[in-house]
Amino acid sequence: MKILPTRTDLSSLNDQQRKAVLSEEKRMLVLAGAGSGKTKTLLNKINYLINDKDADSKYFRANGRTS
Protein backbone atom coordinates (compact mmCIF):
# COMPACT_ATOMS: atom_id res chain seq x y z
CA MET A 1 0.00 0.00 0.00
CA LYS A 2 1.24 3.48 -0.89
CA ILE A 3 2.05 5.41 2.28
CA LEU A 4 0.59 8.90 2.26
CA PRO A 5 2.17 11.69 4.30
CA THR A 6 0.11 12.49 7.39
CA ARG A 7 0.62 14.46 10.58
CA THR A 8 -0.56 11.37 12.46
CA ASP A 9 2.06 8.64 12.95
CA LEU A 10 0.60 5.52 11.34
CA SER A 11 3.88 3.58 11.23
CA SER A 12 2.75 1.07 13.87
CA LEU A 13 -0.28 0.00 11.80
CA ASN A 14 -0.37 -2.84 9.29
CA ASP A 15 -1.72 -2.28 5.75
CA GLN A 16 -5.34 -3.16 6.60
CA GLN A 17 -5.37 -0.98 9.72
CA ARG A 18 -3.83 1.91 7.76
CA LYS A 19 -6.45 1.46 5.03
CA ALA A 20 -9.23 1.71 7.63
CA VAL A 21 -7.72 4.83 9.22
CA LEU A 22 -7.26 6.61 5.89
CA SER A 23 -10.65 5.61 4.48
CA GLU A 24 -12.93 8.48 3.51
CA GLU A 25 -16.10 6.41 4.07
CA LYS A 26 -18.58 7.88 6.56
CA ARG A 27 -19.34 4.48 8.08
CA MET A 28 -17.09 1.50 8.39
CA LEU A 29 -17.18 -1.92 10.01
CA VAL A 30 -13.90 -3.17 11.47
CA LEU A 31 -14.33 -6.89 11.99
CA ALA A 32 -11.40 -8.92 13.24
CA GLY A 33 -10.38 -11.45 15.85
CA ALA A 34 -9.27 -10.86 19.42
CA GLY A 35 -5.98 -9.02 19.81
CA SER A 36 -5.83 -7.96 16.17
CA GLY A 37 -5.75 -4.20 16.85
CA LYS A 38 -9.35 -3.01 16.42
CA THR A 39 -9.14 -0.55 19.33
CA LYS A 40 -5.75 0.66 18.12
CA THR A 41 -7.25 1.23 14.66
CA LEU A 42 -10.24 3.12 16.07
CA LEU A 43 -8.07 5.39 18.23
CA ASN A 44 -5.72 6.09 15.32
CA LYS A 45 -8.74 6.91 13.12
CA ILE A 46 -9.99 9.46 15.66
CA ASN A 47 -6.50 10.90 16.02
CA TYR A 48 -6.15 11.13 12.22
CA LEU A 49 -9.51 12.89 11.82
CA ILE A 50 -8.63 15.46 14.49
CA ASN A 51 -5.00 16.07 13.47
CA ASP A 52 -5.12 15.67 9.70
CA LYS A 53 -8.71 16.44 8.76
CA ASP A 54 -9.21 19.21 11.35
CA ALA A 55 -12.29 17.56 12.87
CA ASP A 56 -13.46 19.11 16.12
CA SER A 57 -12.62 16.79 19.02
CA LYS A 58 -15.77 17.74 20.94
CA TYR A 59 -17.81 15.67 18.46
CA PHE A 60 -16.04 12.38 19.24
CA ARG A 61 -16.95 9.82 21.84
CA ALA A 62 -15.29 6.43 21.79
CA ASN A 63 -16.96 3.55 23.59
CA GLY A 64 -15.21 0.22 23.71
CA ARG A 65 -16.38 -2.99 25.25
CA THR A 66 -15.66 -6.66 25.03
CA SER A 67 -18.08 -9.53 25.31
65, pLDDT greater than 80: no
Whether 43 is in a domain gets the answer: yes
Check residue 1 and give its pLDDT.
59
Alpha-carbon distance of 56 to 41, in angstroms, equals 19
Task: Assess if residue 1 is contained within a domain.
Answer: no
Using a CB cutoff of 8 Å and minimum separation of 24, what contacts does 16-23 make? Answer: 17/41, 17/44, 20/45, 21/45, 21/48, 22/48
Query: Is 25 domain-assigned?
Result: no
Average pLDDT of 47-57?
95
In a domain, 53, yes or no: yes
> pLDDT at position 4, please?
73
pTM: 0.84
- Is 2 contained in some domain? no
pLDDT digits (tens, 9 = 90+) for 1-46: 566 789 999 999 999 999 999 999 988 888 999 999 999 999 999 9
Residue 56 falls inside a structural domain: yes
Determine the structural domain holding residue 41 and report its residue range: 35-62
pLDDT higher than 70, residue 66 = no
C-beta contacts of 34-37 below 8 A and 24+ residues apart: 37/13
9 domain-assigned: no
Query: Is residue 57 included in any domain, yes or no?
Result: yes
Number of domains, the chain: 1
